Amino acid sequence: MPTSIPQETLESFSDFLGSKGLRMTDQRKGVFEALFKQTGHFTAEQLLQDAKNVDDTVSRATVYRCLPLLVESGVIRKIDVGQENKYYALNGRSETFKAQVICSNCDRIQDVDAPFMEWYGKTVSEKLGLEVKDQRLQVQAECPEFRKNGNCSHTIQS
């Protein structure tokens, strides 16, 4: 998948920074660019590595300070899987609602299409006269490897 920065998103993030009295620095732009190299869920450390490849002056502190701003502005969302690693994902990328299936041993996350969830949320809300703002579905599971060996070789190191 080709990665290009959506100019509109960059501009609205820039405006968001402005509303906080912050500026779009080269480093923040580096972090922003690295975001769009992520293909699925990512950790702060993964983002840091990619951001450094874009601009080697990006520091760990820049990434960690930038992440809450990106979440607040709605560019990305935080996925709290109740594990030590915190995951993030870009918002508004997929047309189909995705559920996250998380291996309870290795923390690996798999996205599964769950279009019925979107329908369900809408239907329930409409009945109550509400508007859907956000909804999520997480499934804790054991991956096949864990079930077979009692351990996962792909356990993510934090």
Q: Give the CA distances from residue 33 to residues 63, 108, 153, in Å, rounded to whole numbers and listed in that order.
A: 12, 24, 31
Hey, is 89 helix, strand or coil?
strand
Phi, psi of 114 (to 5 degrees): -140, 65
Phi, psi of 143 (to 5 degrees): -75, 160
Interface mask toward Zn ion for 64-103; x: CB under 5 A: ---------------------------------------x
Report H helices in 2-143.
Answer: 7-19, 26-35, 44-54, 60-73, 115-128
Residue whose CB is less far from Zn ion, 105 or 125: 105
Rounded to the nearest whole angstrom, what is the least distance from the CB of residue 154 to Zn ion in the complex?
7
Number of Cβ atoms within 10 Å of the Cβ of 152: 20
**Binder among 35, 58, 102, 152 for Zn ion (CB under 5 A):** 152
Q: Binding segment for Zn ion among 1-9, 68-76, 118-126, 146-154 (CB under 5 A)?
A: 146-154
* Residue 105 near Zn ion by CB under 5 A: yes
Total residues contacting Zn ion by CB under 5 A comes to 6
Q: Binding segment for Zn ion among 1-9, 28-36, 37-45, 137-145 (CB under 5 A)?
A: 137-145
Positions touching Zn ion (CB under 5 A) are 103, 105-106, 143, 146, 152
